[in-house]
Structure 1
């Protein structure tokens, strides 16, 4: 429906216009009338019509002046000028102020109807464009957290190697961070504290933690949730030249965040801080340092701000923990692959032993490794309660190890006990997780969902989720998503009023031709053929 204002000083003319429009233009709704230019401007400001029929010759303010005033208030309004003067100068002035049509009196109904049809088509196109722009902006707004998370992941993984690439992606997200310090925040003993809490309560706690962190950090600091229970904080400090000043400012910001969280939520958190790097391509180094610092909570205590340079055994000659090797072990443990897990653990221990000759440092590293391995086993299906008891026993045995060989044997014994427990308990949990993922896929198949999004929804790594999904369902993620979309399309095809283009879009396909090819490949016939079968009652 389109709205229209009539501005004509002759009452009979207004009645005639209203009658023609009402009878022959049902899609146009007349929202007001005016008998002079001043009233026309006032009515236009109040009613905000899509179209204004405006007579040039009117008292108080002529139509050209009124049109100019209305355009100033409503830049998108379409103005159709009415005049008894067939003069080029009037037409020229009308076009100059933005009129889209110029009709001569006496007005023939057909001319008016044709003019309004053309104008309403313009208005319709403009409104559709506005709606499309709003939808695009809304889609980007909804996707922004995932885009930001992807950007941060690439940044701290060292995948951004070109400065222009960094600036383009940061600019797209409206981020002002150009360089600085990476911090890693984690809730102390979160899994133990929320052991008996429902998943909804856990997620609400994480969301509140994120909001408080973002508010305390301020708009110039990049804050985003990350893997596990971590929150990544990137603070830009390019204006400071002295390393000590940079360090002091980072610690001050971290302490501000910690106090805000403790004061509002009453929970204990630890923040690890890496070094400052001026080149954003080096931020992954700061992240590795921040993770290393945060993990020292196990030795230094809870509720702390830990800078990488303040860790006693890391000052002087740093001990760089081989996180990449550790991630390989964790992935194999989550998958329950004992052979590959042992091989990856052997490579990890070799790196740890090669980087330090101190038994104390090795014990500290493998003790931390024991904790993350147990978490990986729990994620893979092991019992939290049983592993907690196992860990107490393992820790006591570690304290009795006197050399690297004993630590090596202890670590492999611990790994085997974790895997044994995990393989005994994982079957039921895997089924629940995959069923939850399938429900999410079916519910959201109309969107452009990815393996990463679904795996994040069920709190698994993409690699492990993909392998687990195929083992349980007998097909990969893409094949299952395609089947869900085709099944949805079959249901939509039962509504004969829906076009194939609409059904394709509602089923998750922006290209109707590609949708038809996929449908035919899955069903053995095109959507139209399937619909015809429905009409004949064969399906």
Structure 2
């Protein structure tokens, strides 16, 4: 529907134009929402209606057409104007052109001219509406993927060590953030796994989402915070800005915000949270340190009793400082779990304990808190590798209970080894038919897109699987790796195309997914034992 207003101080002109629009116009879905005699009345109508097209006389009492247009444009910036006058006056035309008027009609207006004007303007409005719909759909899509883009940025920043400040600036500009990241807080839901052990995964995720949504509200009031969920019970709060914020040192300001978050969660949910705060760094390339400090603050919060907000400086000088957490060994354990390899497992566990420098007088509570954290990380990795969460959750609960009753180094090592083996088994217990079903989507995606530059992660995403698990199941089900499968598809396609002697080999290379024809020839020869040209002539 297109809404039209007629503004003319002459009654007969308003009446005539109204009849033309209703009876002589080829565009039928129009509605006349106002017929007024002066600019002031037109402005009032414009305030109450979304008007698309306004036919307006130039010379009127009280407020002339050009003055009214200026004011209406501030109310309805997308409205289209057609000015009407009985005089072909150059000065008015010049002024109207400055206001981006659509048309200039001389009275008495002719039906065919009015129809032509309406058709032209409606076509422009249609185009604008279509563009707005496209933009809205793009915005909806962006709103859907924006959390994942933020997660990707935070992950790269903290774990993959982005090389340059320029790269960080480029990526933060996408989020309309001008400052650089400089400190990290981590919010951790207290005893979430234990308190939700009897609930199904949907219920668990809804509870997590509620906690996350409350914390995320702070990003609205404080644009210097980026808040993203981790693949666990933790939430990362990344601070962008300087060492002084709101006339406070950043350490004190972050404490203040963290305490507000803690209070909000306690008031609005049945859960409580702890928040660890890392140090401020003016070099954004090393802000990953702040993350590990925040994590360390949470892991060692038991040293400070019931406190819910812990800054790294609160705990870094405690007597556990020599017990540095060996993240590299943790990473190797995770790689073993995700790739389903049990070799060197005992050796890795021994190395882990050696790094902790544990002797007969070791701090039992400290080691157990670290092992509990490791249990959570390993369990989540097992789920990412394909294990059913409902099967892993009882394992989590059982091994948590066991840990409290263990008090020797040997038993702690055995506990960790037994946990890893149990998780390996849970990964492998996934039904074979289920594996075939979930891998099918990825295979179908590859078959449709092998001529493009697709990645393993894309195919895994289509199957809703982690990259590690998809890669492992794909190789088992298909009998080859992802790369080998794509190469085979491309070479077979090339062989079919080579039968057409009129088609250039360089073009064939591009058509099957190789931009470099030389590389294509090498791959082809490696697979077929002969070059593409020899194959064509054989």
Structures share fold, TM-score greater than 0.5: yes
- Over 3 Å counting, the alpha-carbon distance change for 1:86 and 1:158 in structure 2 is same
Report whether the alignment pairs 1:399 with 2:407. yes
**Structure 2 residue 281 is the aligned partner of structure 1 residue 273:** no
Contact kept? 1:272, 1:305, Cα under 8 Å? yes
1:195 Cα deviation from its structure 2 partner: 1.0
Cα deviation code 1:80-103 (max 9, x no counterpart): 222332343343333234322122
Q: Secondary structure at the residue paired with 1:167? A: helix
1:225 aligned partner: 229
| CA distance in structure 1 between the aligned counterparts of 2:305 and 2:439, rounded to whole angstroms | 37
Choose from 78, 94, 97 the match for 1:95.
Answer: 97
Structure with higher helix content: 1
**Residue 228 (structure 1) shift:** 1.1
2:231, 2:380 within 8 Å by CA — same for their partners in 1? no
Residue 127 of structure 1, aligned match among 126, 129, 142: 129
What's the offset of the Cα at 1:282?
Answer: 1.0
After superposition, give the CA deviation of every residue in 1:339-377 in whole Å (9 maximum; x if it has no partner). 3xx35x635643652573746379928845762476258
Residue 320 (structure 1) aligned with residue 324 (structure 2): yes
Q: Matched residue of 2:271: which SS?
A: coil
CA distance in 1, matches of 2:313, 2:63: 77
**1:145-160 correspondence to structure 2 within 5 Å:** 145-160=147-162
Q: Secondary structure at the match of 2:185?
A: strand
Q: 1:291 aligns with which of 295, 308, 320?
A: 295
In structure 2, how many angstroms separate the alpha carbons of the residues matched to 1:137 and 1:256?
A: 31
Name the CA distance, whole Å, in 2 between partners of 1:63 and 1:240: 54
Once structures 1 and 2 are overlaid, which stretch shifts more, 22-31 or 227-236?
A: 22-31
Gaps of 5+ in 1: 443-448, 479-516, 519-539
Aligned counterparts of 2:70 and 2:260: Cα–Cα separation in 1: 55
Unaligned runs of 5+ in 2: 446-453, 484-510, 513-538
Match of 2:116 among 107, 114, 117: 114
Task: Kindly state the Cα deviation for residue 313 of structure 1 after the two structures are TM-superposed.
Answer: 8.4
What are the superposed Cα offsets for residues 271-308 of structure 1, whole Å, 9 maximum, x if unpaired?
33333322121111111222233233588877654444
Query: What RMSD, in angstroms, separates the aligned Cα atoms of the two structures?
Result: 4.7
Per-residue CA shift, 1:399-442, capped at 9, x if unaligned?
A: 344xxxx5897378525642564267x22499399769979x99
| Secondary structure class of the residue paired with 2:242 | coil
Corresponding residue of 1:364: 367
TM-score (norm 2): 0.69
Aligned equivalents of 1:236 and 1:2: distance in 2? 46
1:378-457 equivalences under 5 Å are 379=383, 380-381=387-388, 383-385=392-394, 388-389=397-398, 399-401=407-409, 410=414, 413-414=417-418, 417-419=421-423, 421-422=425-426, 426-428=429-431, 431=434
| Per-residue deviation, residues 439-460 of structure 1 (Å, max 9, x unmatched) | 9x99xxxxxx998799899996
Q: 2:414 aligns to what SS in structure 1?
A: helix
1:502 is matched with which residue?
A: none
Contact 1:82–1:103 (Cα < 8 Å) also in 2: yes
* Match of residue 26 from structure 1: 27
Stretch moving more, 323-332 or 192-201 = 323-332
| Maintained 8 Å contact 2:186/2:235 | yes
- Matched-pair contact (CA < 8 Å) for 1:177–1:221: no
Give aligned pairs, total: 464
Residue 102 of structure 1 aligns to a residue whose secondary structure is strand
Distance 1:43 1:466 in 2: 64
Shift of 1:194: 0.5
State the match for 2:7 in structure 1.
Answer: 7
How far 1:231 sits from its partner (Å)? Answer: 0.9
Residues 1:463 and 2:468 are matched in the alignment: yes
Change (3 A) 1:466 1:314: farther
* C-alpha distance in 2 between matches for 1:66 and 1:255: 53
**TM-score normalised by the chain length of structure 1:** 0.69
**C-alpha distance 88-295 of structure 1, shift in aligned 2 (>3 A):** same
